Amino acid sequence: MFKAYLILAACILLTACAQSLSVANKDTFNAPKTGVVGVFRQPIGFCSGGYKQQIKLGGEKIVAKPTWTSDQDNLFSAYIAPGKADLEEYRYGCGSVLTTLTLKEKHGVIIPQNGFCKIAISFLKGDELFSQNDALLREYFAKEHVAVPFDDMPYCETY
């Protein structure tokens, strides 16, 4: 019985550490914090096998798709230091196999000196890796009740 509680506590702790920022809380965006809010689009046909999917952006591991969701598009957010933030990898699981895609060329976003920026990141075939997808981002800002008005947050510059 104790072992079951220990395993449950470890799972809760690991899940809590992997959560995105509380974007509905205005305090999340108070100065001097900087970072990114965006929508991640996973490829159709990729399965997660119940695993969360992650990207590594600017050295930060970010949950791009939570555990046990079948949604293709998901809001993500993270505190990231100002300056260039390389998109280093995309990690997903399918069944018992975990896969890490590492980008061969440097691509990333520029995090502003003050505040947050927004971006859509897509691994869908035919999509640009980074985009300023107004319709998609507006939908998710509203759905997730992001505390900063959509038009008040600039788009991330990309490279």
The span from the CA of 114 to the CA of 98, in Å, is: 36
d(CA 103, CA 87): 7
Q: How many domains does the chain have?
A: 1
- Distance, CA of 96 to CA of 112 (rounded, Å): 38
pLDDT exceeds cutoff 90 at 71? no
CA gap 109, 84 in Å, rounded: 6
Instruction: Point out which residues pair with 38 in neighbouring strands.
Output: 76, 119
The distance from CA 132 to its chain's CA centroid, rounded to whole angstroms, is: 15
Q: What is the pLDDT of residue 131?
A: 98
| Rounded-to-integer distance, Cα 48 and Cα 93, Å | 5
Q: In the predicted model, what is the mean pLDDT of residues 58-81?
A: 93
Q: What pLDDT was estimated at residue 151?
A: 98
Is the backbone peptide bond immediately before 154 cis, with ω within 30 degrees of 0? no
Does the pLDDT value for residue 60 go beyond 70?
yes
What residues are paired with 110 via a beta bridge? 84, 157
**Which pLDDT value is given to residue 20?**
73
Contact (CB, 8 A) for 100 and 89? yes
Amino acid at position 8, single letter: L
| Domain span holding position 129 | 2-158
For the segment 87-130, what is each residue's pLDDT rounded down to a tens digit? 999 998 877 888 899 999 999 999 999 999 999 999 998 999 99
Q: What is the pLDDT of residue 96?
A: 80
Tokens of 126: 């035919």
User: Could you give phi then psi for residue 4, rounded to 5 degrees?
Assistant: -65, -45
